[in-house]
Structure 1
């Protein structure tokens, strides 16, 4: 399977098309584009939603218009599966209900089954929300409800169609052929038993569809996480081939996901505007701000930024992360004359980071992640540009035994050279850190955090690395452990190395450096 990147984005033409067609200003990060040559029953569903008292928002118009595309050659739905991953309180329930009622009233003898976390939760939503909206609408005269336990259904006698519920078991969907299956709150399903139960019941129904929908889950949400991974890969591959051939055959699965990568600040309204498609329609920025204040950050991320919630990691005793929030200074800036650079690469070489450290007038060390991106091919050109722009006092990299050590020769070739005479280094030289240097740098960083002698900007990659870092023994000391850390710690390693290089190697090339200024 193609590896996806959380920072992948579709071409700008995609967002422009969605705005032109639906007035959608918050496009999904991954979304199936509308096929321009296919008719769609989407507008029919919009009318049903309006009659149910919930006129569709732009994002709901887009999703339903694509989901209900008709293949002109077969007259059947172009998509057999529709996946929707969107944050809470965005109107998922209204779209789910509209799709079911539309199906029940558009064709005869439609069997529709809805599943949620549990059968009890499915019944509660079916009765308290679905039926309440239907019975209070202009469509009430077409439907009636049957509440007998085990045989619950909203019936449409004129069409002889039914909307039922089921449990999350292997027997779900067993019985008559299934025309439309809904798996709601997919984050609660740890396996594929519902999909495996629904799919065989759809085999003989040419217009059958499986819909699933959910906000982000946890690491235990195995089925949802796999579906999201597959959906992202599908969309990235689709846009890649569409760039070469617009007439290429499209997959039978439609996928839509609104998501905020970890690099986006959870407290920034711009993040909300790029992630919450109902913002400005049914929810406001004031409501989201209130949710941010009262919710645990990880739960806010899951519910409103559609991120997967990870287990709270135990604290590594060697990394004083409790001190980290108190070292934030949003106004801190590097001093142009005393910048040290360092780079690091993750253990799997999927990401790399460049960090800077600089002495402030108050003697504290400013620390900042300059770049944190996928891959490694960009690192040496970026360091070379920064080297020419900032004229750093030193550039640090771990030795050949570390992942970034593979870039040493390329750095030298780019003109960032190791000093010929270590006793007489020059400004901008490359320092290759040995094992002892790295151990020393890690211990010094922990002391600096405890003593409050550093300042940082609370950048997401660096803060995440501090919180997820793990260490390993190195003799009687310790060093950061890339392999066992819970996240990519290349931003932290780069920052630690930059600070060490600034304070240990910087004095040899910096003018007017007072070694006593950083002691008191």
Structure 2
């Protein structure tokens, strides 16, 4: 047997990325970190390469990146490389680094400061290192800033950031997300990085959402269009596992440690991990070293309006809508995300699909024009009284036939969507964002009828609203809400 180091798995057990994109800024980040004295492990380089891939238009392939790895494996190196790139190469005007506790944010600032000061080429570009308590940042002469904050219900409000790094994401709830997520809304190409270890229960609300999206993408084979997810963990034995089960992992097995800890052979050893198990016991060892987490749902009662079984039964990966088509646009109240939905006929059923779902609103107009030219739909539906209503004038100036439903018609649209699902006259390809929206949706009274509502501020139902309005648009009078004055400008 070799006396050399034993290396952990350099690829995660759970890997879900939006798709295959050739271009990546990850190698630039790796090389810049090396110049600053930070040599990254293969697994860290892999995360940066996959998480920083770009589409043909230069936008991030994954506006959201989540790294779930046990403690002391080196997620901090990934954070530092990504922040150095954003500050010195990517031209990001503001990078917000958010940690659960003030001391953790301060330690992160000291680490990045040490790296920059140790590289003269980078240090000479720094205007100031601000080290006042609660006011740590690095500012360049050209104005770019990397700012460190501790999380609270109000931290992050008032900023407009190009990139948010959320360290310790296993302690990340709705209040913090409500404060931080809207800071990206006014940026054309933002990115959010979530990094932490296994879920610890009710405090891991946001991590649980991200993980469910990743699992949905892996189960259905349909990539989540905005999320890259990396998880080093084991698939622990269940209570019902019989003796000799080979489908699941044993907490006491050496291979389990290798599978969940990519830093083995670099900064961790099997001996140290074995000692941890003696100290912690199997349950805590499984969580802290093997990535076995507890992930809460948004509510004890998800899928409140249309049952999950009903919705999944309507899925057909081979379905495609045929002309005529109707598109619709919706935006979250915080303007953190927008969605474009489409509806068309598929045999005797109506096909609904989320075409795009991305952060902010800056991308919507150009994408709508592209879809208009390609498909020439019968109409575009946008709720004039909703958050996306502000887009209507520009959409019409671009020549799109936009109609806006009245309040009673929004109620009709929701009822029609519900009835179609109940009567199995609806078909979809099981978009992950649409499923997540339905899981988090509830009803709000609208006179004697109802419309879609979300259970909490962190639930994004814009994909659901978009496909609901698109389906209504298939049968709407396209002249009904068109004002001739809208064509004069």
Give the structure-1-normalised TM-score.
0.50
Alpha-carbon deviation of 1:121? 2.6
Is the 1:34–1:65 contact (alpha carbons within 8 Å) kept by the matching residues of 2? no
What secondary structure does 2:165 align onto?
A: strand
Alpha-carbon deviation of 1:35? 4.4
Q: Structure 1 187/36 Cα, relative in aligned 2: closer, same or farther at 3 Å? A: closer
For structure 1, which runs of at least 5 residues remain unmatched after alignment?
Answer: 1-22, 242-248, 311-520
For 1:25 and 1:299, how far apart are their aligned partners in 2?
A: 21
Residue 251 of structure 1 corresponds to: 225
For 2:207 and 2:19, how far apart are their aligned partners in 1?
A: 27
- Higher relative contact order, structure no. (Cα contacts within 8 Å, ≥ 6 residues apart): 2
Alpha-carbon deviation of 1:41? 0.5
Residue 203 of structure 1 corresponds to: 185
Alpha-carbon deviation of 1:259? 1.1
1:18-97 matches, cutoff 5 A: 25-33=9-17, 35-72=19-56, 74-97=57-80
Q: Structure 1 37/215 Cα, relative in aligned 2: closer, same or farther at 3 Å? A: closer
Task: Tell whether 2:112 aligns with 1:130.
Answer: yes
Alpha-carbon deviation of 1:218? 1.7
For 1:63 and 1:194, how far apart are their aligned partners in 2?
A: 25
Q: Structure 1 24/209 Cα, relative in aligned 2: closer, same or farther at 3 Å? A: farther
Alpha-carbon deviation of 1:162? 1.0
1:121-160 matches, cutoff 5 A: 121-127=104-110, 129-138=111-120, 139-143=122-126, 144-157=128-141, 159-160=142-143
Residue 287 of structure 1 corresponds to: 272
Match of 1:194 among 169, 176, 191: 176
Residue 287 of structure 2 corresponds to: 302
Q: Structure 1 289/93 Cα, relative in aligned 2: closer, same or farther at 3 Å? A: same
Alpha-carbon deviation of 1:250? 5.4
Alpha-carbon deviation of 1:113? 0.9
Is the 1:34–1:66 contact (alpha carbons within 8 Å) kept by the matching residues of 2? no
Alpha-carbon deviation of 1:235? 3.5
Alpha-carbon deviation of 1:25? 4.4
Is the 1:231–1:255 contact (alpha carbons within 8 Å) kept by the matching residues of 2? no
Question: Which whole-Å deviations, capped at 9, do the CAs of 1:212-268 have from their partners, x for residues lacking one?
Answer: 111113222231452353243243146x24xxxxxxx75111111111122222221
Is the 2:21–2:61 contact (alpha carbons within 8 Å) kept by the matching residues of 1? no
What secondary structure does 2:112 align onto?
A: helix
For 2:70 and 2:288, how far apart are their aligned partners in 1?
A: 6
Question: Which whole-Å deviations, capped at 9, do the CAs of 1:475-499 have from their partners, x for residues lacking one?
Answer: xxxxxxxxxxxxxxxxxxxxxxxxx
Residue 112 of structure 1 corresponds to: 95
Is the 2:93–2:145 contact (alpha carbons within 8 Å) kept by the matching residues of 1? yes
Q: Structure 1 308/266 Cα, relative in aligned 2: closer, same or farther at 3 Å? A: same
Is the 2:234–2:291 contact (alpha carbons within 8 Å) kept by the matching residues of 1? yes
Task: Tell whether 2:151 aligns with 1:175.
Answer: no
Q: Structure 1 199/122 Cα, relative in aligned 2: closer, same or farther at 3 Å? A: same
Alpha-carbon deviation of 1:117? 1.4
For 2:167 and 2:149, how far apart are their aligned partners in 1?
A: 11
Alpha-carbon deviation of 1:137? 3.7
Alpha-carbon deviation of 1:105? 0.8
Residue 84 of structure 2 corresponds to: 101
Is the 1:178–1:198 contact (alpha carbons within 8 Å) kept by the matching residues of 2? no
1:109-508 matches, cutoff 5 A: 110-127=93-110, 129-138=111-120, 139-143=122-126, 144-157=128-141, 159-189=142-172, 191-237=173-219, 240-241=221-222, 251-263=225-237, 264-308=249-293
Is the 1:298–1:309 contact (alpha carbons within 8 Å) kept by the matching residues of 2? no
For 1:108 and 1:218, how far apart are their aligned partners in 2?
A: 36
For 2:119 and 2:43, how far apart are their aligned partners in 1?
A: 23
What secondary structure does 2:150 align onto?
A: coil
Is the 1:173–1:197 contact (alpha carbons within 8 Å) kept by the matching residues of 2? yes
Is the 1:26–1:275 contact (alpha carbons within 8 Å) kept by the matching residues of 2? no
Q: Structure 1 79/24 Cα, relative in aligned 2: closer, same or farther at 3 Å? A: farther
For 2:177 and 2:47, how far apart are their aligned partners in 1?
A: 21
Q: RMSD value over aligned CA atoms?
A: 2.6
Alpha-carbon deviation of 1:203? 1.3
Residue 471 of structure 1 corresponds to: none
For 1:109 and 1:125, how far apart are their aligned partners in 2?
A: 19
Alpha-carbon deviation of 1:294? 2.2
For 1:52 and 1:92, how far apart are their aligned partners in 2?
A: 17
Give the greater-gyration-radius structure (CA). 1
Is the 1:301–1:309 contact (alpha carbons within 8 Å) kept by the matching residues of 2? no
Q: Structure 1 183/231 Cα, relative in aligned 2: closer, same or farther at 3 Å? A: same
What secondary structure does 1:53 align onto?
A: coil
Alpha-carbon deviation of 1:53? 2.2
What secondary structure does 2:209 align onto?
A: helix
Is the 2:129–2:139 contact (alpha carbons within 8 Å) kept by the matching residues of 1? yes
What secondary structure does 1:204 align onto?
A: coil
For 1:231 and 1:250, how far apart are their aligned partners in 2?
A: 7
Q: Structure 1 56/234 Cα, relative in aligned 2: closer, same or farther at 3 Å? A: farther
What secondary structure does 1:306 align onto?
A: coil
